[in-house]
Structure 1
Amino acid sequence: MSRPLNAINVPGRTSFLEEIFRGALRLDLVHPFPAQPESDRKQGDALVAEAKEFARGLVDPALVEKSGELPREAIKRLRESGYLKLQSPRKLGGLALSDLNAFRVIQAISSWSLPLGLVVAVQNSIGFAPLVQILPEGPLRDMLSERVARGLISAFADTEPSGAANLRRETVAVPTEDGHAYLVSGEKVFSGNAPFAELLGVVATVQEDGREMRRLVVVDPDAPGVRRSAEHEFMGIKGFPNGGFTLDRVRVPRDHVFVEKPSAHDVRITAQAGGLAILGRMYLIAAPSLAIAKLCLEWSRGFVRRRRVDGVPLAEYEEIQHLIGQSLADTFALEAVAEWSLLCEDAGLNPLFEQVVAKNLCSLLCWGVVDRTMSLFAAEGYETAASKAARGAPPVPLERSFRDARNLRISGGVDFQLDYWLSKLAIFSYHRAGVLDDGRGAEQAAEARELLAAALTPRNQRHLAELHDSVEEFRARCAALAKAYPDDETLFAQEHTLIAVARWATEIMAASLVLARAARRTAEHDTEAQDLADIYCTGALRRIAEYAREALEEERPDTGRVTQRWITGDGHGGLLDDIVADVTDPDTSGSEVPGPDVS
């Protein structure tokens, strides 16, 4: 495979998940499960402790929630710190951290204030601090390096009002007649850190050699023609600065456009910026997800310790044990996915596949934990922290975390859309190219499978065997789909099936990582890791069975016909009887805005 088969395939560097796509459970790649190097871990421990104290001294999360704003003084102090340059070299004032330590610092800050953590995450994922490291030598790199060294806060402007899922960008960069600059026009929305960004990274469409290309254009937000058009407010992450811009023939010097080598595969944003965004989701989504899950575990323990039902301690009820046990196991799995995704590259593997799916895995696992915690707390969970404090109850901000966690399933790509793209852009490329595992993968993994099984409890050994069987079934089903739909257009129209296929593969990966991590933790004298792995894999295998069933379905209800009749107004109108469909405009003192025409 000398030419990349898809946008994240790297010839000569495989990954555990990629091998699952090829039909092999390469346990030799994950066992023994990697551990953070001791010296790096100690550095991380010290920095995490510092980050916790820094965050606690910077903002009051309850006041940020109430005001909907981060204090300007907090932004100023962030600029003066190294937290906006976690992985930048020290010559730029950065901390030069490893991927895992950067993740840990963002997790720590997010656990105190998620809006503050997201400001840090944006700068260290899709800001200019990481981008400058991949720029070629030249004026653009020199300018950005100097700005980053001075504490630059930037915004990545990609999403447009027409939606984030569109491949084409309506924002355009047109060369001037003299060829020295571009005129950039368009509108961008949902841009993190936009309200106080000092530079913008704008993804725009450029015509080059008769074809459309996407380029990253560096724009000064104070330049003529740029207008900060909106500051977005969300149901959660109150205080996270997010907004939009309009650009009207904004003149940008030609050397402020990042020109990349042509990519063999069409991608939503530019190829190298896309690679940064893949790792960036680990910081933007996975780290906050893990922070929220861990907080929920702590809050659950405190709640259960102090509550009784009819004199019986809450912890003695079986269903309460089930809820908490599942949340503990899901948090263990969340850690396994994060650690693997950030450490596997040290073993010479391609981390991109795992980092792509980590966004969904981590945000969904977090959502499961916070939802169970809400059920456990019941009305006290739905109650705001301020209301609880007013009546003397522990002011646990579970309601806030519930709203924040829902954002994580949307930010960075809606979960089902990412699953579909994974199947469309990656999984079936191996079938089309005829490069499935030829049996050598199983041979390479045979010894590791035996060693891993020997390190597991009997129940976990059975889980491992079931995962091995599921990979074989997965391969056969994907091959059958590729044969049944020989042209891509027809295959890719089977969206629901392709989503199930992607989730099937992702669950196999996650459960395998959990077992491998449990084996390593057992060797480190963790006597409880195997129980958590058993709980997680029991649930994962149930989900795998459901995804396999969906992927194997030959007939389904006709949702297309039902939906089309509803959208055109030709059917199912009675479902809207007896309601008021109008909405009110909050900015016009309750005046009504007409609802949808349902006649």
Structure 2
Amino acid sequence: MSTEIKKDILRGGQFLVKETKCEDVFTPEDFTEEQIMMKESVKEFIDREVWPHKERFEKKDYALTEEIMRKAGELGFLGIAVPEAYDGMGMGFVSTMLTCDYISGATGSIATAFGAHTGIGTMPITLYGTEEQKKKYVPALAAGEKFGAYCLTEPGAGSDANSGKTKAVLSEDGKHYLISGQKMWISNAGFAEIFIVFARIEDDKNITGFIVEFDKDNPNGMTLGEEEHKLGIHSSSTRQVFFNETKVPVENMLSERGNGFKIAMNALNVGRIKLAAACLDAQRRVITEATKYANERIQFKTPIAKFGAIKAKLAEMATSCYVGESACYRAAKNIEDRIAIRESEGNTHQEAELKGVEEYAIECSILKVKISEDIQNVTDEGIQIFGGMGFSADTPMESAWRDARISRIYEGTNEINRMLAVGMLVKKAMKGHVNLLEPAMKVADELMAIPSFDIPDYSELFAEEKELLGKLKKVFLMVAGSAVQKFGPKLEEHQQLLMAAADILIEIYMVESSILRTEKNAKRFGEESQEVQIAMTKLNLFNAVEKITTKAKEGIVSFAEGDEQRMMLMGLKRFTKYANMPNVVALRNKIAEKMTAENEYCF
């Protein structure tokens, strides 16, 4: 890979302080022919095997979930990310995201089973296992001949994963570890045969990972609890797993002793961006069903799709999905390119993928938070559009809403991920990987200076929007820079301030991603072809400005007083000011009318 390409790929978090050209981002419109074929193949599989059986999934048909997973394995969908050396398809990160996206839309039960198996069930062995471990376990996992599960969470160790009490004691002959403890919320536990289990050896500071085989006919000290009764994902097998001196060969230790916490955190980074992708097709399907119903439902002799209140809902739903797609595939390609760079520099595939994903951990957390909240909002509005029927289990909205709720808890709660995003950005700045100090100082100087009264040239597409985006970045630098200066290492104690800063950061990334996608497509396909996408991009920016204004005010008044507070609030007003405020109602109408004409989410 050339030096020029390397230079164009920003490091994780640098989007905040460096400009990205639209030509340098990847969009769904850039899918290769192979990726389009994969997308259509997965979508056809879900439409045939899953969507018609939604009722069965709501009735806790765990056997159906296992059957669908075996079929997915036979078609190769479980091995997309697995290297060819271990009987996988060895496809790139974008293709793995795409598969996760389209296989997850019909029901949260399959989305969970697929994510738990391919991600946290298989990936730790692929990335951390010895050659012998990979050859022994990965081919069967890739083919769906055996299924994986991931045992990290305990009754007293949720977000604080490293505080688990499960113990691993070396046997007297030194050939086995005896694992004892309790794990909970274990997805796929009811039909998994290969468990990634985390336990503490002696008084080690960090936990250690193990590969544990489970045979129901010879349980080896393992006991499964009953299936959990859950709000949603009814046919996702979720059980407690108990270990009573379960014998695990010493060669089944995963990576090195004490490396379990690192494995868990890196698995979560991948899991977060994949979870974001897994919410996308769910949004598309809900939006399409809501659009169809709005066209069919007649009230006062008029389809409700023609009512302004319904148009607003449909437009906002579609906009959030379009923006989520833009950001997900932008980040996925950045990760894929970073992996390729590392491999070209001599890293093994394992090292390259681990470091490639870790590089964009900030973006992974951003996407997990934003899109998991978007799917909840979309399903909620879907119920509202259906009215009383939306509350009925006879329509797909009710189950979609319940399934969506877990997404804000999976892979680290959204509260944890908000604080992680800002915390990781500050750490990158301290290490010199993201230059936040100089831009923050420039913003501080700008607050003291007289603002320019020059009238910019807004003749080019998104000229004003890009200028406003640049100013929104200044809002984050102003708030976060002042907060770091004031609190230093104690910043992490001010969680509500971190949460407000994270919301600003999230909105900036999503706004920039949608602008870049739409600009790129307008340049190559023509502005007229992107008329509605332009409307969605402008609508999303308007919404982001409103949210950033609120969150920045909340942050500023939490730590600044007197003249400092007044100066920062004046700066905030300057940085969030439009030159030409968009007609939001007209934007929403344009988006909704396109959807109702097509009778689906059509972007």
For residue 392 of structure 1, what is the aligned residue in structure 2?
none
**Within 5 Å, which residues of 2 pair with 1:346-495?**
346-348=336-338, 350-385=359-394, 396-424=395-423, 426-430=424-428, 432=430, 436-437=435-436, 457=461, 460-486=462-488, 488=489, 490-495=490-495
Report the counterpart of residue 251 of structure 2 in structure 1: 255
CA distance in 2, matches of 1:289, 1:438: 35
1:185 corresponds to which of 149, 166, 180 = 180
Decide which of 232, 235, 242 is 2:238's aligned counterpart: 242
In the alignment, structure 1 segments of 5+ residues that lack a partner are 1-10, 264-268, 386-395, 444-452, 557-599
1:456–1:239: structure 2 CA closer, same or farther, 3 Å change rule?
farther
- Corresponding residue of 1:544: 548
Whether 1:530 aligns to 2:529 is: no
Q: How far 1:36 moved relative to its partner?
A: 6.1
| Contact 1:229–1:244 under 8 Å retained in 2 | yes
Aligned equivalents of 1:14, 1:178: Cα separation in 2: 52
C-alpha displacement of 1:461 = 3.2
Are the aligned partners of 2:154 and 2:184 in contact in 1 as well (CA < 8 Å)? yes
Whole-Å Cα distance in 1 between the matches of residues 425 and 69 of structure 2?
Answer: 42
Seen in structure 2, the aligned counterparts of structure 1 residues 309 and 462 have a Cα distance that, compared at 3 Å, is farther
**CA 1:340–1:176 in 2, change beyond 3 Å: closer, same or farther?**
same
Superposed, 1:81-92 pairs within 5 Å as 81-92=75-86
Query: What residue number does 1:107 align with?
Result: 101
Counterpart of 1:317, as a letter, is F
- Indicate if the aligned counterparts of 1:168 and 1:205 stay in contact, CA closer than 8 A: no
Question: Hey, which of these two has a bigger chunk of helix by percent?
Answer: 2
Whole-Å separation in 2 of the counterparts to 1:442 and 1:96: 45
Deviations along 1:518-571, whole A, 9 cap, x unmatched? Answer: 101212233221111001111011111111112112379xxxxxxxxxxxxxxx
Give the secondary-structure state (helix, strand or coil) at the position aligned to 1:187. Answer: strand
Query: Is 2:155 aligned against 1:165?
Result: no
How far the C-alpha of 1:232 sits from its partner, in A, is: 1.8
Q: 1:471 to 1:321 in 2, by over 3 A?
A: same
Return closer, same or farther for 1:481/1:104 CA change in 2, 3 Å cut-off. same
Distance across 2 between alignment mates of 1:112 and 1:156: 23
Contact preservation (8 Å) 2:104, 2:281: yes
Q: CA contact under 8 A between 1:70 and 1:240: conserved in structure 2?
A: no
Instruction: Say if 2:226 and 2:240, in contact at 8 Å, map to a contact too.
Output: yes
Hey, what's the Cα distance between the residues in 2 that align with 1:463 and 1:478? 23
- 1:325-358 CA-to-partner distances (Å, cap 9, x unmatched) read 1111111101011111211134448333212221
Residues 442, 534 of structure 1: alpha-carbon distance in 2 compared, 3 angstrom cutoff: farther
Letter in 1 for 2:114: V
Aligned partners of 2:73 and 2:142 also within 8 Å: no
8 Å contact kept, 1:201–1:219: yes
Q: CA deviation at 1:12?
A: 10
Asked if 2 retains the 8 angstrom alpha-carbon contact of 1:431 and 1:482, the reply is no
Work out the CA distance in 1 between the residues paired with 2:402 and 2:90: 33
Report the alpha carbon displacement of residue 440 of structure 1 after superposing the two structures with TM.
8.7
Q: Deviations over 1:349-388 (max 9, x none)?
A: 8333212221111111112222222222221211122xxx
Q: Given the superposition, is the C-alpha separation of residues 145 and 70 from structure 1 closer, same or farther in structure 2, using an over 3 Å criterion?
A: closer
- The question of whether the paired residues in 1 share the 8 Å contact of 2:12 and 2:361 is answered with no
* Contact kept? 1:171, 1:185, Cα under 8 Å: yes
CA spacing shift, 1:340–1:106, aligned 2, 3 Å:
same
Aligned pair in 2 of structure 1 residues 461, 480: CA closer, same or farther (>3 Å)?
same
Structure 2 counterpart SS, 1:112: coil
Residues 232/351 of structure 1: CA separation in 2 closer, same or farther (3 Å cut): same
Distance 1:14 1:437, change over 3 A: farther
Q: State the secondary structure of the residue aligned to 2:422.
A: helix
**Which residue in 2 is equivalent to 1:28?**
20
- Are 1:64 and 2:57 an aligned pair? yes
Instruction: Calculate percent identity across the aligned residue pairs.
Output: 18
3-state secondary structure, aligned to 2:225: strand
Return closer, same or farther for 1:14/1:255 CA change in 2, 3 Å cut-off.
farther
Q: Equivalences for 1:330-349 in 2 at 5 Å?
A: 330-348=320-338
What SS does the aligned partner of 2:229 have? coil
Match of 1:512 in 2: 512
Q: What is the CA-CA distance between 1:13 and the residue it aligns to? A: 11
Question: Which one-letter code corresponds to 1:118 in the other structure?
Answer: T
Q: Which amino acid aligns with 2:361?
A: L
Moved more, 341-350 or 427-436: 427-436
Distance in structure 2 (CA, Å) of the matches to 1:325 and 1:37: 21
Which residue, 200, 225, 230 being the options, matches 2:221? Answer: 225
Distance 1:262 1:234, change over 3 A: closer
Deviation string, structure 1 residues 52-82 (Cα, Å, up to 9, x no partner) = 3333444422222124434254444344442
Indicate which of 82, 87, 92 corresponds to 1:98. 92
CA distance in 1: counterparts of 2:459 and 2:368, whole angstroms: 29
Distance 1:15 1:215, change over 3 A: farther
In structure 2, distance between residues paired with 1:30 and 1:172: 51
Q: CA deviation at 1:227?
A: 0.8
Taking a change above 3 Å as real, the CA distance of residues 75 and 366 of structure 1, as seen in their structure-2 partners, is closer
Residue type of the alignment partner of 1:26: K
- CA distance in 2 between counterparts of 1:135 and 1:430 reads 25
| Partner SS, residue 211 of structure 2 | strand
The RMSD of aligned alpha carbons is 3.0
- Return the alpha-carbon distance in structure 1 between the equivalents of residues 197 and 214 of structure 2: 11
String of CA shifts for 1:58-108, please: whole Å, max 9, x gaps: 442222212443425444434444222222234433232322222222332
Q: Relative to structure 1, is the Cα distance of residues 427 and 320 closer, same or farther in structure 2, using a 3 angstrom cutoff?
A: same
Question: TM-score w.r.t. structure 2 length?
Answer: 0.77
Greater Cα offset, 11-20 or 523-532: 11-20
Q: Equivalent residue for 1:270?
A: 261
Q: Which whole-Å CA distance do the structure 1 matches of 2:257 and 2:27 have between them?
A: 35
Hey, what's the Cα distance between the residues in 2 that align with 1:456 and 1:322?
Answer: 28
Letter in 2 for 1:270: F
1-structure distance, mates of 2:8, 2:492: 27
Query: Alpha-carbon deviations, 1:257-281, whole Å to 9, x = none?
Result: 1124988xxxxx5324432331223
Cα displacement (A) at 1:110: 2.3
Report deviation, 1:256.
0.5
Give the corresponding residue for 2:521: 521
Aligned match for 1:153, one of 147, 154, 157 = 147
Alpha-carbon distance in structure 1 between the residues aligned to 2:313 and 2:141: 46
Instruction: Return the offset for 1:309.
Output: 3.4
Aligned equivalents of 2:368, 2:480: Cα separation in 1:
23
Letter of the 2:376 partner, please give it: W
- Structure 2: how far apart are the matches of 1:492 and 1:55? 43
Kept in 1, the 8 Å contact 2:408–2:414? The answer is yes
CA distance in 1, matches of 2:45, 2:322: 27
- Assess if the C-alpha contact under 8 Å between 1:504 and 1:547 holds in 2: yes
Q: How far off is 1:206 after superposition?
A: 2.6
| Rounded Cα–Cα distance in structure 2 between residues aligned with 1:534 and 1:552 | 26
Change (3 A) 1:442 1:45: farther
Query: 1:218 and 1:100, CA in 2 relative to 1: closer, same or farther beyond 3 A?
Result: same
Unaligned runs of at least 5 residues, structure 2: 1-5, 339-355, 443-456, 561-603
Q: 1:16–1:29: 8 Å Cα contact kept in structure 2?
A: no
